Amino acid sequence: MLFDPYHSDALQLKNRLVMAPLTRSRAVEDNTPNGLMAEYYGQRAGAGLIITEGTSPSPNGLGYPRIPGLFSAAQAAGWRKVTEAVHARGAKIFVQLMHTGRVTHPDNLPAGAEVVAPSALTLSGQMYTDKSGMQPHPTPRAMTQADIDAALAEYVTAARLAIEAGFDGVELHAANGYLLEQFLNPHANQRADAYGGSAENRNRFVLDVARGVVAAIGAQRVGVRVSPYGVFNDMGAFEGMEAQYLALARELSALGLAYLHLVDHSSMGAPTVPAEFKAQLRAAFGRTFIGSGGFDGEAAEAALREGRADLIAFGRLWLANPDLEERLQRKLPLNDPDPATFYTPGAKGYTDYPRAA
Protein backbone atom coordinates (compact mmCIF):
# COMPACT_ATOMS: atom_id res chain seq x y z
CA MET A 1 0.00 0.00 0.00
CA LEU A 2 2.81 2.42 0.80
CA PHE A 3 3.77 2.66 -2.87
CA ASP A 4 0.23 2.81 -4.24
CA PRO A 5 -1.18 6.12 -5.48
CA TYR A 6 -3.44 8.06 -3.12
CA HIS A 7 -6.45 10.05 -4.28
CA SER A 8 -8.75 12.23 -2.20
CA ASP A 9 -10.84 15.28 -3.05
CA ALA A 10 -7.80 17.41 -2.16
CA LEU A 11 -4.72 15.28 -2.88
CA GLN A 12 -3.64 13.33 -5.95
CA LEU A 13 -0.37 11.63 -4.97
CA LYS A 14 1.83 9.10 -6.76
CA ASN A 15 2.39 7.17 -3.51
CA ARG A 16 1.56 7.35 0.19
CA LEU A 17 5.01 8.42 1.36
CA VAL A 18 5.29 11.90 2.86
CA MET A 19 8.52 13.73 3.52
CA ALA A 20 8.03 15.30 6.95
CA PRO A 21 9.12 18.88 7.72
CA LEU A 22 12.82 19.01 8.63
CA THR A 23 14.53 22.22 9.71
CA ARG A 24 17.84 22.45 7.83
CA SER A 25 18.91 26.11 8.26
CA ARG A 26 20.29 26.63 4.75
CA ALA A 27 18.51 29.89 3.87
CA VAL A 28 21.68 31.86 4.47
CA GLU A 29 20.81 35.19 2.80
CA ASP A 30 17.81 37.14 4.13
CA ASN A 31 15.99 33.90 5.01
CA THR A 32 15.44 33.34 1.29
CA PRO A 33 15.41 29.88 -0.34
CA ASN A 34 18.22 29.26 -2.81
CA GLY A 35 19.44 26.87 -5.48
CA LEU A 36 20.99 24.50 -2.95
CA MET A 37 17.61 24.11 -1.27
CA ALA A 38 15.97 23.46 -4.64
CA GLU A 39 18.50 20.70 -5.28
CA TYR A 40 17.84 19.17 -1.84
CA TYR A 41 14.07 19.03 -2.25
CA GLY A 42 14.30 17.92 -5.86
CA GLN A 43 16.47 14.98 -4.79
CA ARG A 44 13.72 13.82 -2.44
CA ALA A 45 10.79 14.19 -4.83
CA GLY A 46 10.29 10.43 -4.90
CA ALA A 47 7.83 11.16 -2.10
CA GLY A 48 4.20 11.53 -3.02
CA LEU A 49 4.01 14.66 -0.87
CA ILE A 50 6.81 16.84 0.49
CA ILE A 51 6.12 19.15 3.41
CA THR A 52 8.85 21.76 3.64
CA GLU A 53 10.84 22.77 6.66
CA GLY A 54 9.19 25.29 8.97
CA THR A 55 8.87 28.59 7.10
CA SER A 56 7.95 31.78 8.87
CA PRO A 57 5.03 33.92 7.72
CA SER A 58 6.44 36.84 9.72
CA PRO A 59 9.76 38.51 10.56
CA ASN A 60 8.78 37.91 14.20
CA GLY A 61 8.63 34.15 13.58
CA LEU A 62 12.20 33.62 12.32
CA GLY A 63 13.24 32.04 15.59
CA TYR A 64 16.18 29.93 14.44
CA PRO A 65 19.24 30.96 12.43
CA ARG A 66 18.91 30.71 8.66
CA ILE A 67 15.38 29.34 8.49
CA PRO A 68 13.35 30.45 5.46
CA GLY A 69 10.53 32.92 5.40
CA LEU A 70 7.57 33.50 3.11
CA PHE A 71 6.55 37.11 3.59
CA SER A 72 8.33 38.85 0.69
CA ALA A 73 8.35 38.65 -3.09
CA ALA A 74 12.03 37.67 -3.04
CA GLN A 75 11.32 34.73 -0.73
CA ALA A 76 8.44 33.62 -2.94
CA ALA A 77 10.73 33.75 -5.96
CA GLY A 78 13.29 31.64 -4.11
CA TRP A 79 10.65 29.08 -3.21
CA ARG A 80 9.55 28.87 -6.86
CA LYS A 81 12.91 27.26 -7.67
CA VAL A 82 12.04 24.59 -5.08
CA THR A 83 8.50 23.92 -6.27
CA GLU A 84 9.65 23.65 -9.90
CA ALA A 85 12.34 21.11 -8.95
CA VAL A 86 9.83 19.01 -7.02
CA HIS A 87 7.07 19.17 -9.62
CA ALA A 88 9.54 18.14 -12.33
CA ARG A 89 9.71 14.73 -10.64
CA GLY A 90 5.97 14.35 -10.16
CA ALA A 91 5.67 15.06 -6.43
CA LYS A 92 3.38 17.52 -4.67
CA ILE A 93 4.71 20.03 -2.15
CA PHE A 94 3.12 21.97 0.72
CA VAL A 95 5.02 24.69 2.59
CA GLN A 96 4.86 24.44 6.37
CA LEU A 97 4.03 27.83 7.86
CA MET A 98 5.77 27.98 11.25
CA HIS A 99 5.79 31.10 13.41
CA THR A 100 8.15 30.33 16.29
CA GLY A 101 6.56 32.72 18.79
CA ARG A 102 8.54 32.66 22.03
CA VAL A 103 10.95 30.01 20.68
CA THR A 104 13.53 32.53 19.52
CA HIS A 105 16.19 35.05 20.46
CA PRO A 106 16.49 38.66 19.25
CA ASP A 107 19.88 37.83 17.70
CA ASN A 108 18.06 35.54 15.26
CA LEU A 109 15.50 38.15 14.22
CA PRO A 110 15.81 40.84 11.55
CA ALA A 111 15.80 44.51 12.47
CA GLY A 112 12.43 45.67 13.76
CA ALA A 113 11.14 42.21 14.67
CA GLU A 114 10.38 41.20 18.25
CA VAL A 115 9.68 38.15 20.39
CA VAL A 116 5.93 37.75 20.90
CA ALA A 117 3.74 35.00 22.34
CA PRO A 118 0.27 34.48 23.80
CA SER A 119 1.57 35.24 27.30
CA ALA A 120 4.75 36.72 28.78
CA LEU A 121 6.06 33.31 29.87
CA THR A 122 9.74 32.59 29.36
CA LEU A 123 10.77 29.36 27.65
CA SER A 124 13.28 27.36 29.68
CA GLY A 125 16.79 26.64 28.40
CA GLN A 126 18.88 28.31 25.73
CA MET A 127 18.88 28.83 21.97
CA TYR A 128 21.71 28.88 19.46
CA THR A 129 22.46 32.13 17.64
CA ASP A 130 25.04 32.62 14.90
CA LYS A 131 26.01 35.95 16.47
CA SER A 132 26.57 34.98 20.10
CA GLY A 133 26.35 31.20 20.39
CA MET A 134 24.01 29.78 23.01
CA GLN A 135 21.80 32.38 24.68
CA PRO A 136 18.94 32.13 27.21
CA HIS A 137 15.46 32.59 25.83
CA PRO A 138 14.09 36.08 26.46
CA THR A 139 10.72 36.81 28.00
CA PRO A 140 8.27 37.38 25.12
CA ARG A 141 5.87 40.27 24.95
CA ALA A 142 2.28 39.13 25.39
CA MET A 143 0.37 39.70 22.16
CA THR A 144 -2.34 42.33 22.09
CA GLN A 145 -5.48 41.97 20.01
CA ALA A 146 -3.76 44.14 17.40
CA ASP A 147 -0.79 41.74 17.39
CA ILE A 148 -3.12 38.76 16.97
CA ASP A 149 -4.89 40.46 14.07
CA ALA A 150 -1.54 41.29 12.47
CA ALA A 151 -0.26 37.72 12.84
CA LEU A 152 -3.46 36.37 11.29
CA ALA A 153 -2.98 38.71 8.33
CA GLU A 154 0.62 37.51 7.99
CA TYR A 155 -0.48 33.88 7.73
CA VAL A 156 -2.98 34.84 5.02
CA THR A 157 -0.38 36.80 3.08
CA ALA A 158 2.11 33.92 3.33
CA ALA A 159 -0.53 31.48 2.05
CA ARG A 160 -1.21 33.69 -0.98
CA LEU A 161 2.54 33.98 -1.63
CA ALA A 162 2.80 30.20 -1.38
CA ILE A 163 0.38 29.74 -4.25
CA GLU A 164 2.23 32.38 -6.27
CA ALA A 165 5.43 30.42 -5.60
CA GLY A 166 3.89 27.27 -7.05
CA PHE A 167 3.14 25.33 -3.87
CA ASP A 168 0.25 22.88 -3.93
CA GLY A 169 -0.78 24.04 -0.48
CA VAL A 170 0.29 25.04 3.02
CA GLU A 171 0.58 23.21 6.32
CA LEU A 172 -0.21 25.23 9.44
CA HIS A 173 2.28 24.14 12.10
CA ALA A 174 0.25 23.85 15.31
CA ALA A 175 2.74 21.46 16.92
CA ASN A 176 6.10 21.24 18.67
CA GLY A 177 5.63 24.27 20.89
CA TYR A 178 5.56 27.01 18.26
CA LEU A 179 3.13 29.92 18.14
CA LEU A 180 -0.06 28.09 17.18
CA GLU A 181 0.50 25.40 19.81
CA GLN A 182 1.47 28.08 22.32
CA PHE A 183 -2.11 29.31 22.00
CA LEU A 184 -3.49 25.76 22.32
CA ASN A 185 -1.60 24.79 25.47
CA PRO A 186 -2.20 26.37 28.90
CA HIS A 187 1.47 25.81 29.76
CA ALA A 188 2.14 28.74 27.39
CA ASN A 189 -1.26 30.45 27.24
CA GLN A 190 -2.51 32.12 30.41
CA ARG A 191 -4.64 34.74 28.73
CA ALA A 192 -7.95 35.88 30.21
CA ASP A 193 -9.50 37.16 26.98
CA ALA A 194 -11.22 35.41 24.06
CA TYR A 195 -7.99 33.52 23.26
CA GLY A 196 -7.41 31.89 26.64
CA GLY A 197 -8.93 30.42 29.78
CA SER A 198 -11.09 27.69 28.23
CA ALA A 199 -10.44 24.96 25.67
CA GLU A 200 -12.72 26.71 23.20
CA ASN A 201 -10.83 29.97 23.62
CA ARG A 202 -7.41 28.32 23.34
CA ASN A 203 -8.50 26.72 20.05
CA ARG A 204 -9.68 30.05 18.70
CA PHE A 205 -6.45 31.40 17.18
CA VAL A 206 -5.68 28.17 15.31
CA LEU A 207 -9.21 28.13 13.93
CA ASP A 208 -9.08 31.83 13.04
CA VAL A 209 -5.84 31.26 11.13
CA ALA A 210 -7.24 28.18 9.40
CA ARG A 211 -10.40 30.03 8.37
CA GLY A 212 -8.42 33.01 7.11
CA VAL A 213 -6.09 30.86 5.05
CA VAL A 214 -8.97 28.77 3.69
CA ALA A 215 -10.75 31.94 2.58
CA ALA A 216 -7.58 33.07 0.81
CA ILE A 217 -6.48 29.90 -1.02
CA GLY A 218 -9.18 27.23 -0.57
CA ALA A 219 -9.67 24.45 1.96
CA GLN A 220 -8.20 21.75 -0.27
CA ARG A 221 -4.86 23.54 -0.15
CA VAL A 222 -4.61 23.62 3.66
CA GLY A 223 -3.38 21.03 6.17
CA VAL A 224 -2.68 21.26 9.90
CA ARG A 225 -0.03 19.56 12.02
CA VAL A 226 -0.64 18.84 15.73
CA SER A 227 1.36 17.16 18.51
CA PRO A 228 -0.81 16.37 21.55
CA TYR A 229 1.30 14.68 24.24
CA GLY A 230 4.40 16.36 22.80
CA VAL A 231 6.79 17.92 25.31
CA PHE A 232 9.12 19.86 23.00
CA ASN A 233 9.58 23.56 23.89
CA ASP A 234 7.97 23.23 27.33
CA MET A 235 4.72 21.76 26.08
CA GLY A 236 3.09 18.72 27.71
CA ALA A 237 -0.24 17.14 28.55
CA PHE A 238 -2.85 19.08 30.50
CA GLU A 239 -6.29 18.48 31.97
CA GLY A 240 -8.91 18.14 29.27
CA MET A 241 -6.33 17.93 26.48
CA GLU A 242 -7.85 15.03 24.56
CA ALA A 243 -11.31 16.60 24.54
CA GLN A 244 -9.85 19.91 23.37
CA TYR A 245 -7.98 18.30 20.47
CA LEU A 246 -11.00 16.23 19.43
CA ALA A 247 -13.07 19.41 19.31
CA LEU A 248 -10.34 21.10 17.28
CA ALA A 249 -10.22 18.18 14.83
CA ARG A 250 -13.98 18.33 14.31
CA GLU A 251 -13.85 22.07 13.64
CA LEU A 252 -10.96 21.67 11.20
CA SER A 253 -12.80 18.86 9.42
CA ALA A 254 -15.85 21.08 9.02
CA LEU A 255 -13.66 23.52 7.09
CA GLY A 256 -12.89 20.77 4.55
CA LEU A 257 -9.12 20.80 5.00
CA ALA A 258 -6.79 18.63 2.93
CA TYR A 259 -5.39 16.71 5.89
CA LEU A 260 -4.57 16.48 9.58
CA HIS A 261 -0.96 15.54 10.38
CA LEU A 262 -0.37 13.93 13.80
CA VAL A 263 3.10 13.92 15.35
CA ASP A 264 4.04 11.15 17.81
CA HIS A 265 7.53 11.80 19.21
CA SER A 266 7.60 8.76 21.50
CA SER A 267 10.37 7.26 19.36
CA MET A 268 12.50 10.24 20.45
CA GLY A 269 11.66 9.97 24.14
CA ALA A 270 8.38 11.90 24.41
CA PRO A 271 5.30 10.32 26.00
CA THR A 272 3.45 7.86 23.78
CA VAL A 273 0.29 9.13 22.14
CA PRO A 274 -2.28 6.49 23.14
CA ALA A 275 -3.48 4.36 20.24
CA GLU A 276 -7.11 4.82 21.30
CA PHE A 277 -6.74 8.60 21.20
CA LYS A 278 -5.09 8.46 17.77
CA ALA A 279 -8.08 6.49 16.51
CA GLN A 280 -10.49 8.99 18.07
CA LEU A 281 -8.62 11.93 16.53
CA ARG A 282 -8.65 10.24 13.13
CA ALA A 283 -12.38 9.61 13.40
CA ALA A 284 -13.08 13.17 14.61
CA PHE A 285 -11.30 14.63 11.59
CA GLY A 286 -12.71 12.08 9.15
CA ARG A 287 -10.58 13.20 6.23
CA THR A 288 -7.02 12.45 5.10
CA PHE A 289 -4.91 11.58 8.15
CA ILE A 290 -1.09 11.58 8.12
CA GLY A 291 0.77 9.49 10.69
CA SER A 292 4.26 10.57 11.72
CA GLY A 293 6.88 9.48 14.22
CA GLY A 294 9.41 6.65 14.18
CA PHE A 295 8.04 4.72 11.23
CA ASP A 296 10.09 2.34 9.13
CA GLY A 297 8.77 0.69 5.98
CA GLU A 298 7.24 -2.31 7.74
CA ALA A 299 5.51 -0.24 10.43
CA ALA A 300 4.20 2.15 7.78
CA GLU A 301 2.68 -0.68 5.77
CA ALA A 302 1.03 -2.04 8.91
CA ALA A 303 -0.47 1.35 9.81
CA LEU A 304 -1.92 1.74 6.32
CA ARG A 305 -3.20 -1.83 6.17
CA GLU A 306 -4.91 -1.50 9.57
CA GLY A 307 -6.51 1.83 8.66
CA ARG A 308 -4.64 3.87 11.26
CA ALA A 309 -3.53 6.44 8.67
CA ASP A 310 -3.92 7.29 5.00
CA LEU A 311 -0.38 8.59 4.48
CA ILE A 312 2.85 8.07 6.43
CA ALA A 313 5.45 10.78 7.01
CA PHE A 314 9.14 9.96 7.38
CA GLY A 315 11.62 12.49 8.75
CA ARG A 316 15.25 11.66 9.38
CA LEU A 317 15.13 8.76 6.95
CA TRP A 318 14.47 11.27 4.13
CA LEU A 319 17.21 13.54 5.46
CA ALA A 320 19.92 10.92 4.89
CA ASN A 321 18.35 9.03 1.98
CA PRO A 322 17.39 11.17 -1.01
CA ASP A 323 16.09 8.00 -2.70
CA LEU A 324 14.21 6.70 0.33
CA GLU A 325 11.22 5.52 -1.69
CA GLU A 326 13.46 3.26 -3.78
CA ARG A 327 15.38 1.94 -0.78
CA LEU A 328 12.16 1.08 1.07
CA GLN A 329 10.57 -0.57 -1.93
CA ARG A 330 13.66 -2.64 -2.73
CA LYS A 331 14.47 -3.20 0.97
CA LEU A 332 17.96 -1.74 0.53
CA PRO A 333 20.24 -0.59 3.39
CA LEU A 334 19.74 2.99 4.55
CA ASN A 335 22.31 5.76 5.00
CA ASP A 336 22.77 6.94 8.58
CA PRO A 337 22.13 10.66 9.16
CA ASP A 338 24.99 12.86 10.40
CA PRO A 339 23.65 15.00 13.29
CA ALA A 340 26.71 17.29 13.14
CA THR A 341 25.46 18.65 9.80
CA PHE A 342 21.73 18.86 10.47
CA TYR A 343 21.69 22.66 10.77
CA THR A 344 25.00 23.80 9.27
CA PRO A 345 25.30 25.93 6.12
CA GLY A 346 26.43 24.32 2.88
CA ALA A 347 26.06 21.09 0.93
CA LYS A 348 27.78 18.77 3.40
CA GLY A 349 25.22 16.57 5.12
CA TYR A 350 22.53 18.12 2.93
CA THR A 351 22.74 17.30 -0.78
CA ASP A 352 25.74 14.92 -0.67
CA TYR A 353 24.14 11.77 0.81
CA PRO A 354 24.67 8.97 -1.73
CA ARG A 355 21.90 7.29 -3.65
CA ALA A 356 21.70 3.51 -3.78
CA ALA A 357 23.76 1.81 -6.46
Picking from 129, 127, 147, 142, the residue whose alpha carbon sits closest to that of residue 234 is 127
Is residue 209 a contact partner of residue 179, using CB atoms and an 8 Å limit? no
259 φ/ψ angles, rounded to the nearest 5 degrees = -165, 165
How far apart are alpha carbons 268 and 294 in whole angstroms? 8
- CA-to-CA separations, 133 to 65, 126, 127, 143, 341, in angstroms, rounded: 11, 10, 8, 27, 16
Q: Which of 6, 178, 259, 350 is catalytic?
A: 178
Spell out the SS3 assignment of 31-100.
CCCCHHHHHHHHHCCCCCEEEEEEEECCHHHCCCCCCCECCCHHHHHHHHHHHHHHHCCCCEEEEEECCC
Is residue 105 a contact partner of residue 127, using CB atoms and an 8 Å limit? yes
178 is catalytic: yes
How far apart are alpha carbons 269 and 136 in whole angstroms? 24
How far apart are alpha carbons 272 and 263 in whole angstroms? 10
Any idea what DSSP says for residue 318?
Answer: H
SS3 at position 171: strand
Active-site residues: which are they? 178
